[in-house]
């Protein structure tokens, strides 16, 4: 017999060991399944004719029924997988990986007797499922940064120079003092004479005028004019 016709499989002794493990697990699974069915039956019958319960009790009962149903469905599927494993044992194909065709590790079969894939095949299958890329890729934060980098940068047009004009007003300074002319001097002296006359009238110095020999105010004015004329000549 050539090596090409040799099929890799577990020996009959190994298959007997696997069958005993599966039979034990199947018996326990069926017992648990029957227990779950009985619990569901009891809850349903005890609460069918009781309409006096409040809303809180009713919601808790519904939650319990839902949980038991889920456990029963899971247990029924597990029983079906164990029965399929017994069929493979009878066919002597138990323990052969359906993906690679290689033998599944014996320790794995004892821990999970319903398995049909090796650890390597299962890992590759899970990675393949995760690597499926959806049609529309979801953009992340890094993608947004890349899009911003790819955007063309607009060149700023040269702006025309802005001319800012400012009117500066000169603060009004002190006017230059113009030199006094003869008319200004005459006016100043005349004002001084008036002030002098007022002071003399208040002080009542008529006696002094008599001693000097002045007869009237006109004489005093004439003297004042002569004094101012002399001062003008001195300034010239």
pLDDT tens digits along 124-174: 888 887 776 555 555 544 455 455 555 555 666 666 665 665 555 555 555
Could you tell me if 134 and 40 are in contact, meaning their C-beta atoms sit under 8 angstroms apart?
no
- Identify any residues that bridge with 48 across adjacent strands, giving them in sequence order: none
Alpha-carbon distance 85 to 103, whole Å? 15
Structure token digits, residue 196: 């002098």
Helix (H) or strand (E) holding 135: none
Structure token digits, residue 216: 């009237």
pLDDT tens digits along 176-215: 555 555 566 566 666 666 566 665 555 554 444 444 444 5
Alpha-carbon distance 77 to 32, whole Å? 13
pLDDT value for 209: 46
Q: Quick check: helix, strand or coil at residue 233? A: helix
pLDDT value for 173: 53
Alpha-carbon distance 219 to 225, whole Å? 10
- Identify any residues that bridge with 103 across adjacent strands, giving them in sequence order: 96
Residue 63 pLDDT level (bands cut at 50, 70, 90): confident
- List the Cα angle 117/128/141 in 5-degree steps: 145
**71 pLDDT more than 80:** yes
Alpha-carbon distance 7 to 18, whole Å? 19
pLDDT tens digits along 95-134: 999 998 999 999 999 999 999 999 988 888 888 877 765 5
**7 pLDDT more than 60:** no
Residue 31 pLDDT level (bands cut at 50, 70, 90): very high
pLDDT value for 46: 74
pLDDT value for 108: 93
- Which residues, 6+ apart, have CB-to-CB distance to 9 below 8 Å? 92, 93, 95, 96, 103
CA torsion, points 45, 48, 53, 55, in degrees to nearest 10?
110
The percent of residues above 70 in pLDDT, for the chain, comes to: 47
Q: What is the CA radius of gyration of the chain?
A: 65
Is 0.75 topped by the overall pTM?
A: no
pLDDT value for 76: 95
User: Residue 21: which of 107, 101, 102, 136 has the closest Cα?
Assistant: 107
Structure token digits, residue 24: 């034990």
**233 pLDDT more than 80:** no
- Identify any residues that bridge with 96 across adjacent strands, giving them in sequence order: 103
pLDDT value for 60: 81
């Amino acid at each position: 017999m050539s090596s090409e016709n040799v099929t890799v499989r577990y020996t009959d002794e190994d298959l007997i060991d696997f069958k005993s493990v599966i039979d034990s697990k199947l018996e326990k699974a069926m017992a648990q399944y029957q227990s779950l069915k009985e619990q569901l039956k009891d809850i349903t019958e005890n609460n069918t004719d009781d309409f006096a319960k409040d809303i809180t009790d009713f919601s808790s009962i519904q939650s319990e029924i839902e949980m038991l149903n889920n456990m029963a469905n899971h247990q029924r599927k597990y029983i079906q997988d164990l029965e399929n494993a017994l069929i493979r044992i009878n066919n002597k194909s138990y323990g052969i990986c359906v993906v690679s065709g290689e033998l599944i590790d014996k320790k794995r079969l004892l821990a999970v007797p319903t398995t049909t894939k090796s650890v390597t095949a299962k890992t590759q299958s899970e990675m393949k499922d995760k690597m499926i890329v959806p049609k529309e890729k979801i953009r992340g934060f890094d993608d947004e940064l890349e899009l911003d980098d790819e955007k063309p940068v607009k060149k700023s047009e040269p702006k025309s120079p802005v001319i800012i004009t400012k009117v500066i007003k000169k603060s009004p300074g002190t006017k230059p003092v113009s030199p006094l002319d003869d008319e200004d001097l005459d006016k100043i002296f005349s004002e001084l004479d008036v002030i002098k006359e007022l002071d003399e009238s208040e002080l009542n110095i008529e006696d002094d005028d008599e001693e000097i020999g002045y007869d009237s105010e006109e004489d005093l004015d004439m003297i004042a004019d002569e004094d101012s004329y002399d001062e003008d000549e001195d300034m010239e």
